[in-house]
Amino acid sequence: MELSQVLKQCQHLVNPYRIQNGDGFRLEQIDPGDTLDLPTDKKGAREALEQGVEMLSELQQRLYAQNKWAVLLVFQAMDAAGKDGTIKHVMSGVNPQGCQVCSFKAPSALDLDHDYLWRANQSLPERGRIGIFNRSYYEETLVVRVHPELLAKQSLPPALLGPKLWKQRFEDIRHYEQYLNRNGVVVLKFFLHLSKKEQKRRFLQRLERPEKNWKFSAADIRERGFWEDYMQAYQEMIRETATAQAPWYVVPADHKWFTRLVVAAAVIERLDALDLRYPEVSPEAKQALARAREQLLSE
Ligand code: ATP
Ligand code: MG
């Protein structure tokens, strides 16, 4: 298929879910079960994803060769929304040398002795690379907000606490992402939007299928009990931090094949807009290459 045609399809997949201005955004605007009425045959979806993965691989090679931009993909979601599987499938064609995944768990004692962006900042992708944050500094406006005792552990000076803290965190994150952008780090943020009903189905599968048991954790059920609080926190996070340079993609997550297609399409579309090119070889360098070739051939 022509590149321009692939890009058109990407835009069709991504446009409904890209939030560049969060004002007034409501999570209800996007249905977790949405598939844009695409045919749901698994074979078709797999083929489309394969094509996307191939394009991504080509774009990533150019990103790497050009060595100017870095790309940061942030993934946030409730448990069992498919972060791991999406990362695995979408990045399956990418050269592992050009890609780094960082999973953010509960902060260590050392992390807690620093500001919350400290650990994230150390894990940013180098130029030419794609960095993936499986969870991220956004947990600081999600789990930490839903569970105030986590904030207490951060030993912040009491004078800095209070309701304004969340507004300030959003403001700081907006500025941080702008700073990254101005330094050549392109930020894309994905919220995999799962329904509560589908989460239940997936949890039950984890309990009922022995090969999926390892994925189950009792903590996941506990967090499910805070579902409404999380949705509130996600909605506000998107309202406050969706910007033109660092948009949120609110991706329907009840159908895994669709989630993966949308994420792949979003990354392709964004990388393509960077106009990535292999570095030009100067006439002098070309002459040097020709001389090296002659030398090898005359051995
Ligand atoms: P999976 O369960 O699919 O392996 P996961 O991302 O859920 O992946 P877990 O080890 O289960 O990994 O969970 C990581 C935990 O770390 C989550 O409960 C998350 O809320 C928590 N966490 C991440 N960042 C922070 C943070 N800044 N403060 C407190 N908790 C955090
Ligand atoms: Mg988990």
- pLDDT (tens, 9 = 90+) of the chain, 299 residues, equals 677 888 889 999 999 999 999 999 999 999 999 999 888 777 888 899 999 999 999 999 999 999 999 999 999 999 999 999 999 999 999 999 999 999 999 999 999 999 999 999 999 999 999 999 999 999 999 999 999 999 999 999 999 999 899 999 999 999 999 999 999 999 999 999 999 999 999 999 999 999 999 988 989 999 999 999 999 999 999 999 999 999 999 999 999 999 999 999 999 999 999 989 998 989 999 999 999 999 999 99
Query: Which residues, in sequence order, are bridge partners of residue 130?
Result: 71, 99
* 192 CA → ligand 1 middle, Å: 15
Q: What six digits make up the tokens of 264? A: 């792949």
How far, in Å, CA of 171 to CA of 66, rounded? 32
The DSSP line for 46-94 is HHHHHHHHHHHHHHHHHHHHH---EEEEEEEESTTSSHHHHHHHHTTTS
Check residue 234 and give its pLDDT: 98
Please give the single-letter amino acid code of residue 39. Answer: P
Is the shortest distance between the CB of 133 and ligand 1 below 6 Å?
no
Is the shortest distance between the CB of 217 and ligand 1 below 6 Å?
yes
Cα–Cα nearest to 233, from 246, 218, 244, 223: 223
Check residue 1 and give its pLDDT: 67
Q: What six digits make up the tokens of 285? A: 């360098």
Extended beta strands in the chain, E state: 18-19, 70-77, 99-103, 130-134, 185-193, 248-252
Query: Which residues, in sequence order, are bridge partners of residue 72?
Result: 131, 187
Is the shortest distance between the CB of 165 and ligand 1 below 6 Å?
no
Check residue 4 and give its pLDDT: 80
pTM metric for this prediction: 0.95
Q: Are 52 and 12 in contact (CB under 8 A)?
A: no
Is the shortest distance between the CB of 150 and ligand 1 below 6 Å?
yes
* 270 CA → ligand 2 middle, Å: 29
Q: CB count, 10 Å around CB of 281? A: 11
Cβ neighbours of residue 259 closer than 8 Å, sequence gap 6 or more: 82, 86, 192, 251, 252, 253
Q: Which of 74, 84, 86, 104 to mutate to test the pocket of ligand 1 (most atoms within 8 A of CB)?
A: 104
Check residue 162 and give its pLDDT: 92
Q: Which domains does the chain have, with CATH numbers?
A: 3-298 (3.40.50.300)
